[in-house]
């Protein structure tokens, strides 16, 4: 047991992270969270659910991670007044999650310092994640109250939500003196698509397709976390072949994104040679994905119960490892010896380890600020428990550190790909089509950005009643507002790209 209270019961997740669940009262929530925080634990996700069809009211779900594993707390809330204590004083990352839960379900964090709407944007009335929700006409003005910074010489620069490049929409409001940034306030939610509501109308297998499309650059991670959650409810352990193949797909997704981002980081300091070279390599990897697996972005290959693909032409992947190791080593030398790049990278977008810990910075960006969390290491699910993953970390917490961690992780993923290919054998998959009733399952996978978590709730008949996908960008977007302070405005694109957070992954 990771804690002496509340009363926790084990959530069996075959071959994956240890997890416990507990039903608690609202007044117990803060003491438990404080105890987890004091022990070095973190908030992973916060969401709500409508339990009125099960003779309950509403419920707040909180997922915490400690050295022992996941702790999933369910807080029963009254139907007439669904309120719970504000968690943002313990876990600052909770603030936006609480605002989203209020927008979608109408459950409210009392004494919250920020109760502004987060996802709604004047787009709907009522609370769409309530089971009795009916679509209503839109007649609500959208006037978002940004925080104003005033004083001599202070100016505002609004950027977005529509940007010049082919990127997702997000609004960034800078308060500046000269070129120095005094404050940055983000407004996201423009890509809200009703994904959580859509899951309620889908079968388990249909939901797997949707899970793989929550964020196109993390298709494998979301699909695996969804499958893991379903398999935990069904008490099903996929074949060893399926698990090895899942790990291969996950590492290829990590390699592809690090290649792309290293190119973009060169582009953001006007080093277009780096951009073109890394994207040539990424394009070759994506073409190999299509040739070997049938999809450039590896969608629809992981399903509850196993995988929906067999590996062929593995020699292509061995040759690819040799090519990438050689080319990326050369490019790393160029990046590290280029005085102009290093001048822009070093010291920019600094997030010191102490601040990173306070704000809950996680994933790749967290590891660049001395936050040594990687689910492949601490909670090595099969087959990572046989791979001895070497975690890449740094202490400087600036753009340069995030570049170094990307390079280190890329080379480690290439090593892992070789190891996985050496272990792969033939096998089969029996698709999981139905789940037990009144079930709760959870899956967590270390995607290339960080921890991807998916929780599944089933109703009495075993139908999917609620799915909550969680992206690490929830934790990391608020940290970007701190990272840019006292930097100059022209460095914001570089700092932003060094994190490369997801809009769609948290807007849902």
Whole-number Å distance between alpha carbons of 277 and 263: 7
Binning the chain into helix, strand and coil, the percentages to the nearest 5 are 40, 15, 40
b/e 136-164 (16+ beta carbons within 10 angstroms → b): eeeeeeeeeeeeebeeeeeeeeebbbeee
Cα 308 to Cα 221, 286, 416, 428, 464, distances in angstroms = 15, 19, 22, 9, 21
Top-ranked range on mean pLDDT: pick from 50-54, 119-123, 143-147, 476-480: 476-480
Token pair 């936006």: residue: 96
Token pair 């890329």: residue: 410
Confidence of residue 5 (pLDDT cuts 50, 70, 90): low
Whole-number Å distance between alpha carbons of 381 and 377: 9
**Which CATH number applies to 9-110?**
3.30.460.80
Reduced to 3 states (helix: H, G, I; strand: E, B; else coil), residue 441 is: strand
Whole-number Å distance between alpha carbons of 332 and 327: 9
Please provide residue 477's backbone torsions phi and psi, each rounded to the nearest 5 degrees.
-60, -45
Fold of 197-507: Cytochrome-c3 Hydrogenase; chain B (1.10.645)
Six token digits for residue 346 = 């070093």
- 178-224: pLDDT as tens digits: 999 999 999 999 989 999 999 999 999 999 999 999 999 999 999 99
For the chain, give the number of residues. Answer: 508
Whole-number Å distance between alpha carbons of 339 and 64: 42
Top-ranked range on mean pLDDT: pick from 17-31, 146-160, 275-289: 275-289
Question: What whole-number percentage of the chain has pLDDT above 90?
Answer: 81
Confidence of residue 4 (pLDDT cuts 50, 70, 90): low
Please provide residue 445's backbone torsions phi and psi, each rounded to the nearest 5 degrees.
-130, 140
Angle at 250 between CA 245 and CA 255, to 5 degrees: 125
Q: Where are the domains of the chain?
A: 9-110, 197-507
Q: Kindly calculate the radius of gyration of the chain based on its CA atoms and give it in whole angstroms.
A: 22
pLDDT for position 3: 57
Token pair 């690490």: residue: 472
Under the phi-then-psi rule, with left for phi > 0, alpha for psi from -120 to 50, and beta for the rest, what region is 414? alpha
How many other C-beta atoms lie within 10 A of the C-beta of residue 337?
A: 9
Closest C-alpha among 411, 414, 406 to residue 365: 406
User: What mean pLDDT is reported for the chain?
Assistant: 93
Asked whether the beta carbons of 172 and 159 are under 8 A apart, the reply is yes
With a CB cutoff of 8 Å and minimum separation 6, the contacts of 433 are 203, 204, 205
- 350-399: pLDDT as tens digits: 999 999 999 999 999 999 999 999 999 999 999 999 999 999 999 999 99
pLDDT greater than 90 at residue 150: no
Helix (H) or strand (E) holding 284, with range, is helix 272-293
Confidence of residue 124 (pLDDT cuts 50, 70, 90): confident
Question: What whole-number percentage of the chain has pLDDT above 70?
Answer: 97
Average pLDDT of span 107-127: 88
Q: How far is CA 213 from the centre of its chain?
A: 13
pLDDT greater than 70 at residue 140: no
| Alpha-carbon torsion angle 200, 452, 357, 262, nearest 10 | -130
Cα 346 to Cα 364, 469, 485, 494, distances in angstroms = 17, 34, 15, 11
pLDDT greater than 60 at residue 1: no
Of 427 and 98, the structure prediction assigns the larger pLDDT to 98
pLDDT for position 120: 80
pLDDT for position 139: 58
Q: Tell me the torsion sign for CA atoms 36, 42, 48, 51.
A: negative
Q: In what order do the strands lie in the sheet with 70-77?
A: 9-11, 19-24, 70-77, 58-65, 42-50
First to last CA, the chain: 33
Q: Which DSSP category does 353 fall into?
A: H
Whole-number Å distance between alpha carbons of 96 and 102: 10
- 16-59: pLDDT as tens digits: 888 899 999 999 999 999 999 999 999 999 999 999 887 778 99
Whole-number Å distance between alpha carbons of 47 and 87: 12
């Amino acid at each position: 047991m990771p804690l002496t209270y509340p009363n926790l019961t084990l959530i069996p997740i075959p071959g994956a992270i240890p997890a416990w669940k507990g039903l608690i009262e609202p007044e117990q929530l803060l003491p438990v969270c404080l105890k987890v925080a004091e022990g070095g634990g973190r908030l992973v996700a916060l969401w709500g659910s409508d339990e009125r069809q099960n003779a309950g009211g509403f419920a707040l779900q909180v997922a915490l991670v400690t050295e022992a594993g996941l702790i999933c707390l369910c807080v029963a809330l009254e139907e007439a007044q669904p309120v719970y204590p504000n968690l943002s004083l313990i876990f600052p990352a909770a603030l936006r999650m609480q605002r989203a839960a209020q927008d979608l379900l109408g459950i409210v964090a009392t004494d919250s310092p920020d109760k502004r709407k987060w996802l709604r944007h004047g787009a709907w009335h009522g609370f769409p994640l309530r089971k009795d929700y009916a679509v209503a006409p839109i007649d609500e003005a959208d006037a978002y109250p940004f925080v104003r910074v005033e004083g001599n010489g202070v100016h505002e620069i609004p950027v977005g939500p529509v940007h010049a490049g082919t990127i997702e929409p997000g609004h960034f409001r800078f308060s500046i003196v000269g070129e120095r940034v005094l404050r940055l306030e983000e407004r996201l939610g423009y890509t809200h698509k009703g994904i959580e509501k859509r899951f309620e109308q889908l079968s388990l297998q249909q939901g797997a397709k949707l899970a793989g499309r929550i964020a196109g650059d993390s298709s494998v991670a979301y699909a695996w976390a969804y499958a893991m959650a379903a398999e935990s409810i069904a008490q099903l352990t996929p074949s060893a072949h399926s698990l090895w193949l899942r790990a291969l797909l996950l590492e290829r997704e990590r390699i592809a994104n690090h290649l792309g981002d290293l190119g973009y980081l060169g582009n953001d300091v006007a080093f277009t040679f780096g951009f073109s070279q890394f994207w040539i390599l990424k394009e070759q990897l994506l073409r190999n994905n299509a040739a070997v697996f049938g999809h450039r972005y590896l969608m629809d290959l992981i399903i509850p119960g196993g995988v929906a693909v067999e590996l062929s032409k593995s020699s292509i992947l061995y040759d690819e490892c040799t090519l990438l190791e050689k080319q990326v080593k050369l490019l790393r030398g160029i990046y590290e010896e280029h005085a102009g790049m290093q001048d822009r990278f070093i010291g920019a977008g600094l997030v010191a380890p102490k601040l990173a810990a306070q704000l809950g910075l996680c994933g790749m960006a967290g590891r660049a600020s001395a936050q040594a969390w990687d689910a492949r290491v601490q909670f090595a699910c099969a087959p990572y428990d046989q791979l001895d993953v070497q975690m890449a970390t740094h202490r400087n917490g600036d753009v340069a550190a995030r570049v170094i961690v990307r390079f280190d992780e890329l080379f480690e993923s290439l090593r892992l790909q070789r190891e996985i290919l050496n272990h792969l054998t033939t096998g089969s998959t029996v698709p999981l089509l139905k789940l037990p009733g009144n079930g709760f399952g959870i899956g967590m996978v270390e995607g290339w950005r960080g921890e991807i978590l998916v929780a599944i709730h089933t109703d009495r008949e075993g139908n999917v009643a609620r799915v909550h996908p969680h992206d690490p960008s929830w934790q990391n977007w608020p940290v970007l507002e701190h990272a840019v302070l006292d930097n100059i405005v022209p460095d914001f694109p570089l700092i932003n790209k060094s994190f490369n957070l997801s809009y769609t992954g948290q807007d849902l």
